[in-house]
Amino acid sequence: MGGSLPLFDLDGAGDVTVKMNYRLNAGSGDGDAYVLIPDAAFAGQAANSYVYLYSKFGGTWTGNAGFEEWAVRTTLPTGNPVGAASLSGYVYLDTDLGGTRGEGELGIRGVVKQLQGTDYLGNPVVLNATTDNNGFYQFTGLLVGNYSIFRASDPSGLTPNDVPYANGDNTVGNLGGTSQDSDSPFTDCILSISVGAGRNGLNYNFGFWEGIEQPPN
């Protein structure tokens, strides 16, 4: 394996461990744990190419089952592992300039949010959602993957006090991610949200202020 470059590195973004429990299998098998590698990792490879799997057992926990093994799945999985996921949040008027959505702060309707990303099969995903009367938006039916949420439009009209909207702070929800605040659509976003099977990402919120660029000191 010397000199070979990995097509997919589970440790590429940090130390990652898969814990296996042999009690979940009645003997040798492949039902203990599944590690799904995106098809995109093998883009451009010939159909008869060899794939080598390197793994190190006992790096975090000592193996106590006598032996450990991997099995290679020869057919593609069907559907989404465990269940569909979702991402949701609010676009709202941050009247107290607190940077987070507080009780009684009004939602802003008609703002388009766009989700971009890649699911666990390597498929690109682009979805649009428009905020309702409460400023709520939601993306449902998501497969396991990595996604980002962009503001695709500005609020229309004026605030209830008849002044223009100005971009405020974003809030990263419960599944993590990185906020990038900007005055312009498609650069105002929350990036790199890692969505697991059946997880519901909540409170990915985008705030606006009234006619100012930043809150006073």
pLDDT, one tens digit per residue, over 125-182 is 999 999 999 999 999 999 889 999 999 999 999 999 999 999 999 999 999 999 998 8
pLDDT reported for residue 6 = 73
Give domain limits for the chain: 1-76, 85-210
- pLDDT averaged over every residue in the chain: 82
Residues 59-82, mean pLDDT to the nearest whole number: 63
CATH no. of 85-210 = 2.60.40.10
Alpha carbon distance 47, 24 (integer Å): 33
pTM of full prediction above 0.85: no
